[in-house]
Structure 1
C-alpha cells in the first residue's frame, strides 16, 4: 500500500487528507509532541546508557586499518546546540539508549549521516534516540566506519558495521527487545546505508564470528530522511566519492544504487524529503519510490515544499517537514513497529 503526502500548500494538504484517512485514524493512537517541543530532545544532555564496541578484539573485518587517528569534532551550532561529528572511525561502537517511559519492546537502529566521510553524533543521532525513548522505544546509535578513509574492505565497511549492529540488537543480552520489531532510521548518507541494509539482506559481508552473526540483518521497517539513493547519474558527488573513490566503474555505481527495480524483500519504508533540498535532490526520493513500487513493496512518501537537509529535530517549527517524527510515529504504529 502506498501513500504520498506533499505538504506546502492548502490545496495539496487537502488532496493529501482525502488520500490518507488511515493516517488520520492512526494519529489518535500515537503519542506525539508538537514540532516546537522537539527541540527539548536536542537541548537534552543525556548521554547513552551503554556504549559497546561493535566487534570483538581482533575480529573486525574490512582491514587493514588505514593509518589515521579517530577524533570527534565538538562544535556548537548557531542555536547553541551541541554538534559533535566523528571522523576517521577506527573502533565502531553501538550506543544504547534505554526507553525512559513505558517500554514497548520495539527498537530502532539509528544511522546518522555525514557523506560517508564523517558520521554525526548529536543531530540525527543522540537527539533522535532520546525522542524515541520518550515513545517507549529502545534506541541504538551506530558510529560506523567511513569508506572515505579507504579501508581494505572498501565500500563494504559501513555495511559490515550496520549488519553487525542489527544482529547484536536482535541477540539482546544487555537489553530486551522484540527481534521482530526493529526499525532502521537513516538520514542522507546514513539513509543510503539504511537502504543498503534493507536490500542487501543476503549479502554475507564478513565471516561468522559468534552466534549473533547467524541472525537476520533485514530491518522490519525503515525510516529514511532525505536519503542518498543513486550513485549513478545525479549522484550526490561527495557521498559517491567517499563510498566508491574517484575511479568508480559503472558496475560499482550500479551495485550501490537503488533507483531501479529492487528485489521484493524490502521492509515497509517511510520516506521524507524536502522538494528544494539543496544537498541531495528530491529526485533521489522519487527514484526510490518508483523502485520500491516496481518491486511491489510498501512505501509512505512525504514530500515537503519547505524544509532543509539534515534538519533532524532542529527544523523550523513552521515547516511541516519538522513534524516528521510524529508522522513516522504514526507510520510505526500502523505497521506494528512501535
Structure 2
C-alpha cells in the first residue's frame, strides 16, 4: 500500500521547529500533555509510512509450518495521549518505508521491541523513523514474525525477516528507493535490540535458502544503534524474552547460540549502545556484557550509561533525563561514521 506525503508533512520534515502540542488536543482532552522536548514532535507527528512492503514473495516465505494464529494490531493510546500500536501474531512480515525529504543516501532498518511476543509499531518504530527521515536517512520499520508463536523455524524466524529486510533495503526495493548499500544501519530496542544485535554478530548465518537476486547480498549492517538491548539468553538474561525466543526448557547450546556476550566475529560493525543504570526490565549488566564482548573481539563500540532513565523510552522519556537526549548523541555518532 502506498500513500503520498502531504505538503504539511513535508514542511514538518524540513523544518526545525517542534510540532505544537495542540495537534493532539482532540485525542487527549482527559489526558496529560506529553512533556515537551525536541523529540516530542516525532511522537506527535501523524505521518504514516510512504510504503508498506511485504518481505517475502507469495508462497516463498521460509520458517514454516505456519502456526494457527491470526495477525492483529493492538491499537491503544498511552496516558500522555500518544498512539501505542503493537503487532501481535505477525504472519505477514513487512518493512514500512519513510522517505527522507532530502536523501543523504544513508538508510536504517528499525527493529522495535516487544519481548519476541509482540512487536512495537509507534514507539521505537514509526516515531524513530520520522526522526531519521528528517535527517535525510531513509528509514524502514520492520514488523517481524514472533518466535513466541512457535514457528517451524523456531528462534530463527525473526532473524530470517531481519536478514531479508536488510537485503531488500540494499537492493532498492525493486526501484522504490535508492540507498547506498554501504551505509545501512540497524537500530533496535530491548528484544528488538537483541534482534538488531543478532544481525550484527550472526553475519555468517544463512537462515534460509536464497529465493531471488536480493538474497545474494550481505546481511551485515554497517553500524548499529542498540537501546537497552537484551543480550544474554542465560540465567542472568531477561526471562520473558528467553521464554519467547527459546521456549520453556532451552538447551545450554541454544542459550549460548542466541546470546550476544560470547566470542564475536571480527567483522562485527561499529555499535552505539545506550542503557539506564537502574533499568527495571533489562539489567544494565546486559549492555556491559556486550561492551566487554565487542572489546574482546577488537570491535568498536560507544557505550552511554545514564543513572536516570527508563526501559523502552524511545522518544518519550522525561526531557529532564540526560538519557532522553540519546538521539543527539546518536546523530553525532552517525555523522562521525559517515552513516548519516
* TM-score, length basis structure 2: 0.89
Residue equivalent to 1:52: 53
Which of 196, 200, 204 aligns to 1:202? It is 204
The residue that corresponds to 2:311 in the other structure is: 309
Across the aligned residues of Structure 1 and Structure 2, the Cα RMSD in angstroms comes to 1.3
Aligned to 1:212, the other structure's residue is in SS state helix
- Aligned pairs for 1:240-319 (under 5 A) are 240-319=242-321
1:32–1:325 CA distance, 2 compared to 1 (3 A): farther
Corresponding residue number in structure 2 for 1:139: 139
In structure 1, distance between residues paired with 2:86 and 2:314:
14
The answer on whether the counterparts of 1:86 and 1:121 sit within 8 Å (CA) in structure 2 is yes
| Alpha-carbon distance in 1 for matches of 2:71, 2:203 | 29
Look up the SS of the partner of 1:96 in the other structure: strand
- The count of aligned residue pairs is 307
Give the 5 Å matches for 1:1-338.
36-100=37-101, 102-172=102-172, 173-338=175-340
Distance 1:260 1:157 in 2: 22
Q: What SS does the corresponding residue of 1:194 show, helix, strand or coil?
A: helix
Does the C-alpha gap of structure 1 residues 128 and 99 become closer, same or farther in structure 2, counting only changes over 3 Å? same
What is the match of residue 10 of structure 1? none
Write out the 4+ residue segments of structure 1 that deviate beyond 2 Å after TM superposition.
31-35
CA contact (8 A) 2:256 2:262 kept: no
TM-aligned CA distance change 1:107 to 1:32, over 3 Å: farther
Query: Counterparts of 1:333 and 1:165 in 2: how far apart (Å)?
Result: 23
Q: Which digits, 9 at most, give the CA deviation of each residue in 1:205-244, with x for residues without a partner? A: 1011000000000000000000000001311011000000
Distance 1:265 1:168, change over 3 A: same
Aligned to 2:8: none
Q: Give the drift of 1:258.
A: 1.2
1:32 Cα offset (Å) = 8.9
1:26-57 Cα distance to aligned partner (Å, 9 max, x none) = xxxxx999981201000011000000011000
Structure 1 stretches of 5 or more lacking a match?
1-30
**Distance in 2 separating the partners of 1:309 and 1:56:** 36
Q: 1:334 & 1:45 partners in 2: Cα distance? A: 31
Q: Which digits, 9 at most, give the CA deviation of each residue in 1:297-318, with x for residues without a partner?
A: 0000000000000000000000
Shift of 1:103: 1.3
Find the aligned partners of 2:17 and 2:240 in 1 and give their Cα distance. 35
1:32, 1:326 within 8 Å by CA — same for their partners in 2? no
Helix, strand or coil at the partner of 2:37: helix
